[in-house]
Every structure is written in C-alpha cells, then in structure tokens.
C-alpha cells in the first residue's frame, strides 16, 4: 500500500484479556519497528524485524509481549493478560533498507486502553 | 548507548517568528537523522531526512541541519504559523547492524495567532 497501515485504530479491552495489534508495512520494506508511546512520554522501542534475521526483542517490557512477522510483511504484536499500564499508543514503522537509508514511515498507531 | 536530547520540552512563540528547534545525540556513528511532526492523538509524519554525509535538507519553510561530529541537529522553521503547532521529534539511526531508531522526547511547539 501507499503507507503503513495499522489496525485497529482504537482498542478498549478489559484487564486480563489478550489483544492483537496489526501492522501492514509498505510493500517491499524489509525493516519493521514497533514502538510504544505512553501519555506524555517519548517513544519506547519494543521490537525490530529486519528481513529474515532474528528480531531484536530487547525492548519488549515483559514476557506478556510478543510479536511476529509473517512472510516478511505483516506483523502482529500480541499482549497477553493486559494490564492498565499497557495503555498507550502502539506505533509501527517500516523502512526500505536495513540502515534506514530511505527514512522511516510510521503508521497512525493503535490507541490501546485497558480498563 | 545512543541518547537523544531535545531541549526545551515546550516552546510558545507568536505567529511569524522564525524559530530553531535543537536536537543533540551522544553517539556520532549514525546513518541518518530524521525529523518528525506529531499532532495530538496522531501518528508521526516525516518532515526531513538527513543522511550522515549531508549537512542540511530543506522543504518549504523547513530547514534541517546536521553536524555529526558535534552530535547536533537543528530544525529551522521560517515565518511560523499557528498550523505549525505540534510536537517535533528527532530520531537517529545508528550504524550498527541492529541499531535501533532512537528518539528524543520531542519539543511541543505552540504558535500563537
């Protein structure tokens, strides 16, 4: 597609439920990032996929968080047993080159609210 | 570990002013630096991308400079308008094979009519 697409745009879930957030990067982009932005905070790195390499998961805050990228394209971020502190905007970005040569394009984000 | 700093956290100016937003980073080994704009409740919109070999980039009323050796970048906004009110973030991409895109916390700009 023309841009990075994220769905859903908004998600309200009950504490303890699992949620899945989806990111559809720009076609052909090999690099994909997930970031989290809590209210009034900066962007917190979560996970980075580059081509077929093993993902960099160093930013995932707990083992309740996981992500996968199927076929080098669509990525899903899963949060199990959601907690109120998971409430944030989850942003996805993709880039055409592993070094980010062409810059990064961000999606509009998924606003997650855990009640 | 790369750290990106943007000071001040907030800025309020009258319409028409030329202004400079600053960004500094601790590790000069970068591939590129990118400035983004974020409107409240929205995602990030790319404004300018500067490769490590470049000194500046321009787009309309925006000009971004990069001094890699001193670890600094500035975003210059000419003749500011109320529509420029937003949060401006800078981000650097390191040169390591698995380097991440590291963001500053942003500068929230308010342009008063």
* Mean pLDDT computed over every residue of chain A: 91
Between these two residues, A42 and A40, which has the higher pLDDT value? A42
The predicted pLDDT at position A98 comes to: 62
pLDDT tens digit sequence for A48-75: 998 888 899 999 999 999 999 988 789 9
pLDDT tens for residues A78-87? 999 999 999 9
Strands (E), B1-113: 4-5, 10-14, 19-25, 30-38, 44-51, 56-59, 62-67, 72-77, 86-94, 101-103, 107-112
Tens-digit pLDDT profile for residues B64-92:
999 999 999 999 999 999 999 999 999 99
Is A33 within 8 Å of chain B by CB?
A: yes
- Give B43's contacts in chain A (Cβ within 8 Å): 6, 91, 106-109
pLDDT for position A22:
97
Q: Are A102 and A95 in contact (CB under 8 A)?
A: yes
| A52 near B CB under 8 A | no
| Number of other CB atoms surrounding residue A48 within 10 Å | 22
Q: Rounded to an integer, what distance in angstroms lies between the CA atom of residue A58 and that of residue A75? A: 17
Residue contact A56–B98, C-beta within 8 A: yes
Size of interface A-B (CB pairs under 8 A): 62
What is the layout of strands, in order, in the sheet containing A65-69? A5-7, A19-24, A75-79, A65-69
Instruction: Give chain B's end-to-end CA distance (angstroms, integer).
Output: 41
Q: How far apart are CA B20 and CA B77, in angstroms?
A: 6
SS3 at position B84: helix
Predicted confidence at residue A1, as pLDDT, reads 53
Does B2 reach chain A within 8 Å, measured CB to CB? no
The contacts of residue A42 (CB under 8 Å, 6+ apart) are B89, B103, B104, B105, B106
Provide the chain B residues 42-101 that lie in CB contact (below 8 A) with chain A: 42-46, 49, 51, 89, 91, 93, 95, 97-98, 100-101
Weakly modelled stretches of chain B, pLDDT under 70: 97-98
Chain A residue with the nearest C-alpha to that of B30: A99
């Amino acid at each position: 597609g023309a841009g990075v697409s994220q769905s859903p745009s908004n998600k309200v879930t009950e504490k303890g439920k699992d949620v899945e957030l989806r990111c559809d990067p720009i076609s052909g982009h090999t690099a994909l990032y997930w970031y989290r932005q809590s209210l009034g905070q900066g962007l917190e790195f979560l996970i980075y996929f580059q081509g077929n390499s093993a993902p960099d998961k160093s930013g995932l805050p707990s083992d309740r968080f996981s992500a996968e990228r199927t076929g080098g394209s669509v990525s899903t971020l899963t949060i199990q047993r959601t907690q109120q502190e998971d409430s944030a905007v989850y942003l996805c970005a993709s880039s055409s080159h592993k070094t980010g040569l062409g810059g990064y394009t961000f999606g509009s984000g998924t606003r997650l609210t855990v009640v | 570990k790369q750290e990106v700093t943007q000071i001040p956290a907030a800025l309020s100016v009258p319409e028409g002013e030329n202004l400079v937003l600053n960004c500094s980073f601790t590790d000069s080994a970068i591939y590129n630096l990118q400035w983004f704009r974020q409107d409240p409740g929205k995602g990030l919109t790319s404004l300018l991308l500067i490769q490590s070999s470049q000194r500046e980039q321009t787009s309309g009323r925006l000009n971004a400079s990069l001094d890699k050796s001193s670890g600094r970048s500035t975003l210059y906004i000419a003749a500011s308008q109320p529509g420029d009110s937003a949060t401006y973030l800078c981000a650097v991409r390191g040169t390591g094979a698995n380097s991440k895109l590291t963001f500053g916390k942003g500068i929230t700009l308010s342009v008063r009519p």
